[in-house]
Amino acid sequence: MNLAGRHLIDPNDFTLEELQEVIDLGLEFYRETKNYSNLCKGKILGTLFYEPSTRTRLSFESAMLRMGGTVLGFSDANTSSVKKGESIADTIRVMDDYADVLVMRHPREGAPRLASEFSTVPVINGGDGGHHHPTQTLTDLITIQYYRGEIKNLRVAFCGDLLFGRTVHSLLKTLSRYPHMNFILISPPELKIPLHLKEELLENPQVEIYETSSLEEYLPQIDILYMTRIQKERFFNEEDYVKLKDSYILNQSKLNHTKKDLLILHPLPRVNEIDYDVDDNPRAKYFDQARLGVYVRMALMAQLLGVTDQC
């Protein structure tokens, strides 16, 4: 399989075999990082972040630097010529001369897809509005693979903002392509997954979905609990956010009757939906997940840049 020159905008842009290839290479990079410290020597990553980010932007930067490449870009569109009214198309036409691979985060859904249409170098979606976040999905998948050894036959619960949560949308769509998955969707009624997504998931007769507003109801049966924050920035008014922000708080006592090999994941940042007392529980893997995100992004960029023949 050859991913060289491709874009990654939606996790469905890659087949399951292609996703697996990225995950396997990411695990190799995790184990033997030093062997690949010159893999991207001479390559430049361009970061175009029109929205705040810690993990996505900096793990991409860390990934490129660990492979011997360099990085340029902006983390605040207000410090770029976007502030003067420059279009995405013009920004990309310029940036693809300055960098060999681009990662873009944008509040508008579809912006990275538009960018890919004007770019002569690979464009990676670093998160677009409430739509997709495919490299977070790769991060989630590599974590599941690392701890469970395979991705199938799992009962996965998603909890929190399932309406606007792009990490949830991307991971749900992707996991539904794996064998024998069933999903527990835990949210307040106001933040249920979009109907179109639910209908799309249920087109696969193997997929089972249970919706509930209770965090406790299914906890003892769950293999993976994917917590998410209620996202203040997606609400139109403060009052609605305040009403929902404390809907779910996972703490130690709630974990008493859960499976011993339960994985608690979270794309982060966390606000208050996981108590700090959970961090020391062996089931809590969200910081390991953020760490693995660097290596899977190394693997992704190496493949899109076509340098993996040296691996």
Q: What is the pairing mode between strands 181-186 and 208-212? A: parallel
283 is an active site residue: no
84 assigned to active site: yes
What DSSP designation does 163 have?
A: T
Under DSSP, the state recorded for 6 is -
Nearest to ligand CP of 127, 134 (CB atom) = 127
Among residues 47, 56, 91, 143, which one is catalytic? Answer: 56
CB of 150 to ligand CP, least distance (A): 24
Residue 41 CB, shortest distance to ligand CP, in Å, is: 26
Q: Which of 105, 131, 245, 297 is catalytic?
A: 105
Min. distance of Cβ 54 from ligand CP in angstroms?
A: 4
Catalog residues that contact ligand CP under the rule CB under 6 A: 53-56, 127, 136, 267-269
Nearest to 301 by CA among 82, 49, 93, 22: 22
Would residue 55 show up in a list of annotated catalytic residues for this protein?
yes
How many Cβ atoms are within 10 Å of 252's Cβ, its own excluded? Answer: 12
Nearer to ligand CP, 171 or 302 (CB): 171
Please say whether the beta carbons of 123 and 112 come within 8 A: yes
Q: What are the CA-CA distances from residue 228 to residues 85, 198, 250, 274 (Å)?
A: 34, 18, 11, 9
Give the β-pairing of 154-159 and 123-128: unpaired
The catalytically annotated residue of 31, 34, 84, 260 is 84
With respect to ligand CP, which residue has the nearer C-beta, 107 or 188? 107
131 has catalytic annotation:
no
Question: Residue 137 Cβ, how far from ligand CP at the closest point, in Å?
Answer: 11
Does the annotation mark 254 as catalytic? no
Q: Which residues contact 182 (CB under 8 A, 6 or more apart)?
A: 154, 155, 156, 207, 208, 209, 210
Residues marked active site are found at: 55-56, 84, 105, 133
